Amino acid sequence: MRVRKVQESTAKAHLQRANVAATVAAASALQSMAHYDEIRGAKNPSWMGHREQSELAARATIEARQSLTGAETSAKAALDQYVASAQAVSVLEHLDDRRREEYAEAAQREESTFVDELVTNRHIRRQEQLVRNGKR
């Protein structure tokens, strides 16, 4: 159970890191797209210089989008792993609770049986004592 809880907390931390990475990648992608739009709309006296800047900005935008896609995929995988770990812990906790309930029921049955035997034995001894004393 402890191992599963450690796995769950590790998966949760990994999920948080993956979500942060996805957020950073999304911000970077937006920034790259804004920069590309800015460069594309700018007037540059040198046609070659403008084309080179546009190509660099376009490559940076494509890489940022690919990075965002990778980060989102990683975050989805981390979420799936966390959900699986959390479910495993939940199942084990439920089984542990069930085992405690079964133990309590077994202990109660055993105690009830013990009390029944005590009462039965006491009644038998009393009946035997009455027979010996001739009062029956």
**Does residue 113 lie within any of the structural domains?**
no
Tokens of 128: 């035997």
**Does residue 121 lie within any of the structural domains?**
no
**Does residue 117 lie within any of the structural domains?**
no
The pLDDT tens digits for 71-114 are 999 999 999 999 999 998 888 888 888 888 898 899 999 999 99
**Does residue 9 lie within any of the structural domains?**
yes
The pLDDT tens digits for 13-45 are 999 999 999 999 999 999 999 998 888 877 776
Total structural domains within the chain: 1
72: containing domain: 2-97
**Does residue 133 lie within any of the structural domains?**
no
**Does residue 119 lie within any of the structural domains?**
no
**Does residue 34 lie within any of the structural domains?**
yes
